[in-house]
Structure 1
Amino acid sequence: MAYEKVTLNLKMKDVELVKPSKSTPSCILSLSTLDNRGIYNNHCETVHVYRSSTTHHDSDSSFNLCHVFKEALSKALFYYYPFAGRLVKHADDEKLRVHCNPNAENYGVPFLEATTNCTLSSINYLDNTDTIISKHLVLKPQDKSYPLLFMVTKFLCGGFTIGMGVLHAVCDGFGASQFFNTIVELAKGRIEPSVIPVWERERLVGSITKQPFPLFHMNKESIAFSPFLNQTNSTNIKQYCFKVEGEMITKLKLNLMKENENIRVTTFESLAAYIWRSRARALKLNNNGDTMLTVLVGMRRSMKDYDPIPKGFYGNSVMEANIMLKVSDLNEMPLFEIVKLIKEAKNVASTADYVKNTIDSLETNFKDRVNMDKSTGAVTVLTEWKHLGFMGENLDFGRKEIVNLVPAPCNLFANVDISVFSSSNKFDDVVPSMKGGINLFTSLPDAAMPKFKEEIEALRYLG
């Protein structure tokens, strides 16, 4: 197996394949219509940062993290054996499937152990504006068919990072968190997971319909464009982390309520409207072009007339709520009007009719997929990780406590389109102004970043 190796003062061992601890079935598993979306056939990469407990500053040499982690991973894979298989596209219908063959040489989850000659504090526990370092702490395979990959990097201080790459086609963020929690539970001595995984992808397979929704809601001739993304030379795009303080969010919500006393908004809705507009301004989208905001709405809560998704399900289970506006309208209309549009779109996307029609439309138009490899900047995709459960105290490894979680720069969706709302980290918890705040991860061309930073800072001075 060939892997790209990085040079960030890292010393790496050979990649090994971790297999399930017990015998697992040999089978071919089909995926759902949602899993088969072309934009999901990429790895979503996260870096989980652990430091030694504040009461134990030594390197705790008796704790062999990699041995403990691999053993727990092996036990978890007995329950989540599809992660040990390989993703393949079948020639007959071009749909993705997971091949699980325990006798195959390449069966298992690639695992890489690394050490570095620096401390976590020297890289600020990845609590940085520019998140470029994090991309060196995840495993990058040349073979993209592995559903799951891990890289554990040990630091001189006794802390470590766990880099996890998960194929979005096999699970969503909630499913990834469920699996990661299972590994930690088993590492701590549980006999079996507290939540038993459920495959059941057939629940979300659509039927052919005569009147499908359009796969792409924008007219390609009128899509807005950014001058920073239409240059002949390669655009330097980076992922940045902005701290949006709780006080800033409070000011934003109070201002929205002053504009319209009858409106009640969530943190997500108010920030979604503000960030959509701020990104359009930072990217200098042309005024007469169309722009679209996509917010992801979970389906795991029960909906009337729709079978509830069972506990333990770890496949993709989110709907897209889309709002389209002319760039000029986005810039000029009151912000609370944009929030109202977001609320309406979320409400529609949460109905059983919308879910069924969307899945049926995706199934009907399966071979007419949208190419998201290149972006004009017209689309902003927002997803919220605050409630996925990646930062709880139950995720500590004994004396090693989790202090931060960052998305590593990856090719999920179009690189510049997606932004992530994440929980504040353990360092932010002790900063009074960050109470109720979030970390915003967004990708932008270098030339657009100063204006976006100015827009975020302007939240301090509202009212």
Structure 2
Amino acid sequence: MAYQKATLDLKMKDVELVKPSKFTPFCILSLSTLDNRGIYNNHGEIVHVYRSSTTHHDSNSSSNLCHVFKEALSKALFYYYPFAGRVLKHADDGKLRVHCNPNAENYGVPFLEATANCTLSSINYLDNTDTEIAKHLVLSPQDKSYPLLFMVTKFLCGGFTIGMGISHALCDGFGVSQFFKAIVELANGKSEPSVTPVWERERLVGSITKQPFPLFPLNKESIAFSPFLNQTSSTNIKQYCFKVEGEMITKLKLSLMKESENIRVTTFESLAAYIWRSRARALKLNNNGDTMLTVLVGIRNMKDYDIDPIPKGFYGNSVMEANIVLKVSDLNEMSLYEIVKLIKEAKSVASTADYVKNTIDALETNFKDRVNMEKSTGAVTVLTEWKHLGFLGENLDFGGKEIVNLVPAPCNLFATVEMSVFSSSNKFDDVVPSMKGGVNLFTSLPVDAMPKFKEEIEALKSLG
């Protein structure tokens, strides 16, 4: 279902600052080497969609629910007080630090309450191919120094959305999920979060080395480009949601296992290979150019005795990048399983103690020579998986409202078109038999490239 902007009209209150419920310390907090990556100095924006469980809308209940959420946020900020501070770049070394000053006027989290003139069902609970509508349900930061922002929008049906903008420099997806769960737990009457947050960013600070390994394996001279992204006029880029049915994934994995003589492949690995190749074809990357796939590998559960385990409750960035570089012609001509093998090998290497240490040291050494990804040629595809982060769990229901969907709002988190997200199917997909075991794929593309990418996804149905 496509979204028409004219259907949504929002009435907004004034933005207010929500402060921690109790006194928090005055301090300046340093971030880790991973937190200080240039590409993380931006806000990720997501929208949680809550459906009312009753047929009759009670406006007092809706207003009270907004009050309950603000109170819970205030209580959560006592434990996660860095989110109430300001993220500032220091002139001496160019690194980000979090300034926490409870006495400052601007201390706290910007919070906006809005009322929509329609029901959630009229905009399909944001379960749309075109996710443009989500842009209007988040409070985008005019001042990037605020690490956290919330916007709660109430709808005529009694349901509501919670739009969250959060600085990637302070946490990764796992950290976002942990923090949001803490808010919901407190809203549901718990006296404290079930998981105690841990800062300890010094665990992931690198050392200066004489010969760091290269962090960006693409050669700028041979990087592939898309004709859709190299026009003099501005390119119309949109984020789309594609539903990849469980049966389509099963066919893909079976064909890969047959090709590999029954070597097990995961859903992520099989889709990563297929999506990378499909995006290259949709973007019409030049055959003699180089393209790179980056898959994000978590290191929280690494069982390597050379590295101290990351403690439970840590909410900073703890993700490695596994990179695979191929010529576009090779990506198109290789069998899909050969690409999967490269992904498996890269993931395995990225999970070792040596790789983690060398990467963090290289990031620290090359801090002032960071790669600029603001301009995109289409050559890079970054894939991340949200399926196991618990963004749609039953423990996120509160106030008699049920969470039914979660959508990443279109935002410039990494670059124009690089980022793609595999997410769990939502509550509406759960009742569709073909979506059992399926995923929602959020990806950004030039509008002119979308029909070819859609054709590639549809081709999964005819496999085997």
TM-score scaled by length of structure 1: 0.97
Q: Distance in 2 between matches of 1:10 and 1:204?
A: 43
**Partner of 1:358 in structure 2?**
359
Alignment length (residue pairs): 456
- Give 4+ residue runs of structure 1 displaced > 4 Å after superposition: none
Three-state SS of the structure 1 residue aligned to 2:367 is coil
Structure 2 matches for 1:414-433, cutoff 5 A?
414-433=415-434
Which whole-Å deviations, capped at 9, do the CAs of 1:325-367 have from their partners, x for residues lacking one? 0000000010000000000000000001100000000000000
Identify the residue that residue 441 of structure 1 maps to in structure 2.
442
**Superposed, which structure 2 residues align to 1:172-183 within 5 Å?**
172-183=172-183
Give the percent of matched residue pairs that are identical in Structure 1 and Structure 2.
88
- Counterpart amino acid of residue 444 in structure 1: L
CA distance in 1, matches of 2:364, 2:379: 26
Note if contact 1:303-1:352 (Cα within 8 Å) is conserved in structure 2.
no
- Aligned partner of 1:58: which letter? H
Q: Distance in 1 between matches of 2:14 and 2:8?
A: 17
Which secondary structure state, in structure 1, belongs to the residue aligned with residue 338 of structure 2? Answer: helix
Q: What residue in structure 2 maps to residue 48 of structure 1?
A: 48
| Matched residue, 2:256 | 256
Deviation, structure 1 residue 212: 0.5
Match of 1:267 in 2: 267
Q: Does structure 1 residue 290 correspond to structure 2 residue 290? A: yes
Report SS of the residue matched to 1:440. Answer: strand
1:190-239, Cα deviation, whole Å (9 max, x unpaired)? 01100000000000000011121213111100000000000000000000
Partner of 1:120: 120
Structure 2 CA distance for aligned equivalents of residues 253 and 215 of structure 1: 31
Confirm or deny: 8 A CA contact 1:208 1:364 kept in the other structure. Answer: yes
Distance of 2:403 and 2:7 partners within structure 1: 25
Match of 1:208 in 2: 208
In the alignment, the residues of structure 1 paired with residue 50 and residue 41 of structure 2 have an alpha-carbon distance, to the nearest angstrom, of 29
Counterpart-to-counterpart distance in 2, 1:255 and 1:217: 31
CA distance in 2: counterparts of 1:319 and 1:213, whole angstroms: 14
Please tell me whether the aligned partners of residues 239 and 443 of structure 2 are also in contact (alpha carbons under 8 angstroms): yes
Partners of 2:26 and 2:421 lie apart in 1 by 37
Question: 2:31 maps to which residue?
Answer: 31
Equivalent residue runs for 1:332-411 within 5 Å? 332-411=333-412
Structure 2, gaps ≥5 residues long = 1-5
Q: Answer whether contact 1:208 1:363 (CA < 8 A) is retained.
A: yes
Distance 1:127 1:8 in 2: 15
Give the Cα separation in 1 of the matches to 2:60 and 2:135: 29
Secondary structure (helix, strand or coil) at the match of 1:207 reads: coil
Matched residue, 1:93: 93
Mapped partners of 2:111, 2:442: distance in 1 = 26
Where does residue 77 of structure 2 map in the other structure? 77
Match of 2:3 in 1: none
Q: Secondary structure at the match of 1:141?
A: coil
- 1:281 aligns with 281
Deviation at 1:264, TM superposition (A): 1.1
What's the offset of the Cα at 1:398? Answer: 3.1
Q: Tell me the SS of whatever aligns to 1:309.
A: coil
Give the equivalent residue in structure 2 for 1:58: 56
Q: Any residues of structure 2 matched to 1:180-259 within 5 Å, and which?
A: 180-259=180-259
Task: Summarize the Cα distance change of 1:436–1:7 in structure 2 as closer, same or farther, 3 Å threshold.
Answer: closer
1:236–1:445 CA contact under 8 A, matched in 2: yes
Greater CA drift, 254-263 or 106-115: 254-263
Cα shift at 1:163:
0.1
Q: Counterparts of 1:136-155 in structure 2 under 5 Å?
A: 136-155=136-155
CA RMSD of aligned residues (A): 1.0
Question: Deviations for 1:82-134, whole angstroms, at most 9, x for unmatched residues?
Answer: 00000000010000000000000000000000001100000000000000000
Q: Which residue of 2 aligns with 1:3?
A: none
CA distance in 2, matches of 1:269, 1:108: 41
Give the letter aligned to residue 77 of structure 2: L
Hey, what's the Cα distance between the residues in 2 that align with 1:247 and 1:318? 30
1:18 maps to which residue?
Answer: 18
1:114, 1:152 within 8 Å by CA — same for their partners in 2?
Answer: yes
Cα shift at 1:81: 0.2
2:455 matched to which residue of 1? 454
Letter in 1 for 2:13: K
Question: For 2:188 and 2:125, how far apart are their aligned partners in 1?
Answer: 24
Q: CA deviation at 1:7?
A: 10
Pick closer, same or farther for the CA change 1:351–1:82 going to 2, 3 Å. Answer: same
Whether the 8 Å CA contact 1:138–1:165 is kept in 2: the answer is yes
Distance 1:86 1:406 in 2: 26
- Paired letter, 1:285: L
Query: How far did 1:62 drift?
Result: 4.6
Q: Gaps spanning 5+ residues in structure 1: where? A: 1-5
**SS of aligned partner of 2:369:** coil
Q: Which amino acid aligns with 2:424?
A: S
**Correspondence for 2:316:** 315
